[in-house]
Amino acid sequence: MSTTQLRLSAEEQFAHELDALKAADDGIRPRNWQMSPQSVVTYLMGGETKNGVKISPKYIGNQRLIEIAVATLATDRALLLYGVPGTGKSWVSEHLAAAISGNSGLIVQGTAGTSEEAIRYAWNYAKLLSQGPTREAMVESPLMWAMQEGKTMRIEELTRIPSDVQDTLITILSEKALPLPELRSQVNAEKGFNVIATANNKDKGVNELSSALKRRFNTVVLPPPATMDEEVSIVQQRVVSLGQSLELPNPTPALQEVRRVVTVFRELRNGLTEDGSSKLKSPSGTLSTAEAISVVNHGLTMAGYFGGGDLQAADLAAGLLGAVVKDPVQDKVIWEEYLETIVRERDGWQDVYRACRELVG
């Protein structure tokens, strides 16, 4: 597909996979779903359709978690993806919506300024003044569309929304209806309507969910990748696909470099070297897999435009420094300690050490 769009949505990028899954699907489809729950799991976890089309894995990790998530949506319970930043919550939510409803674009982006109108409906005041309260004067929210069309809608960063606004969702999730008191009517949700919310538990400025709202969600916690290999393959795969959409000169990173970046991230995140021999201090940032992806991506760009084309340690150094040192004083000390005690001593890591050392000064 040739396009000038910076980033394609999931249903556009993986249209052929979705089509193949739909064509080969013989499971029972819940009403208004594009495919059976089993096929949704296959779409997320990767595999092969019955007619031999390869499906790339979108989520690398525990299949059981995805099964719980899909089964939750199939029982018309709302799904809450919960966890530390950068573990792929929004990514999973986008692909779930794409596979189930064929539309991952029904989004409410949660911020501290998200109002009740953004979740329910607002008014076109010009029309409201001239026509009075009518459906035409109403500005519908993505939630309202999703209800009417029986689709999955997404709420990003639910915990950033102020608590009183969050609670708007309670009635909608339990009654599956949105009252329109001004029109003396209500919108009833079609079968297939559901909500996927993502939320951080470890960040500044989050609003805890009320227990009434919590009870209306099934919670799935997405953990950081369990093993080194899992994380390397996540980074590798994402960098390759990002490279494609950004049209970078050299989209294939050397596996060795990816491995080194992931090692640095894992070691600092866990506060322990991969061989378990020495303890480390952890910096203040979360050092998520998503950040590792952007470090490698950044390195590739540097190598492609300014370097020799091959990804070198020097190209990664700046990205690493930026990802690790979030607090200019404390994190810098931690980073230097790590460089001096671990990186310097490690066989074959001299280039990384030199490149990083140069930047730290």
Region of 182 please: left (phi>0), alpha (psi -120 to 50) or beta. Answer: alpha
Nearer to other proteins, 69 or 262 (CB): 69
- Which parts of 63-92 interact with other proteins (CB under 8 A)? 64, 67-68, 70-72, 74-75, 77, 82-83
Which residues pair with residue 179 across a beta bridge?
A: 186
- 215 lies in the site for other proteins, by CB under 8 A: yes
Nearer to other proteins, 217 or 353 (CB): 217
The residue among 241, 249, 242 whose CA lies nearest residue 306 is 249
Tokens of 33: 């779903």
73 within 8 A of 196, measured Cβ to Cβ:
yes
Residue 193 CB, nearest distance to other proteins (Å)? 17
- Which parts of 312-331 interact with other proteins (CB under 8 A)? none
Counting other chains too, the contacts that 118-126 makes at CB distance below 8 Å and 24 or more residues apart are 119/143, 119/155, 119/165, 119/168, 119/169, 120/144, 120/168, 120/178, 121/178, 121/180
Among positions 220, 234, 300, 325, the unique one binding other proteins when judged by CB under 8 A? 220
How many whole angstroms separate alpha carbon 344 and alpha carbon 359?
Answer: 15
Spell out, one character per residue from 221 to 260, where the chain touches other proteins: x when CB under 8 A holds, - when not: x---------------------------------------
Nearer to other proteins, 8 or 206 (CB): 206
- Which parts of 142-161 interact with other proteins (CB under 8 A)? none
- 201 lies in the site for other proteins, by CB under 8 A: yes
Q: What is the DSSP string of 74-102?
A: HTT-EEEEEESTTSSHHHHHHHHHHHHHS
Among positions 18, 41, 239, 296, the unique one binding other proteins when judged by CB under 8 A? 41
Given the rule CB under 8 A, which residues bind other proteins?
A: 37-38, 41, 64, 67-68, 70-72, 74-75, 77, 82-83, 201, 211, 214-215, 218-221
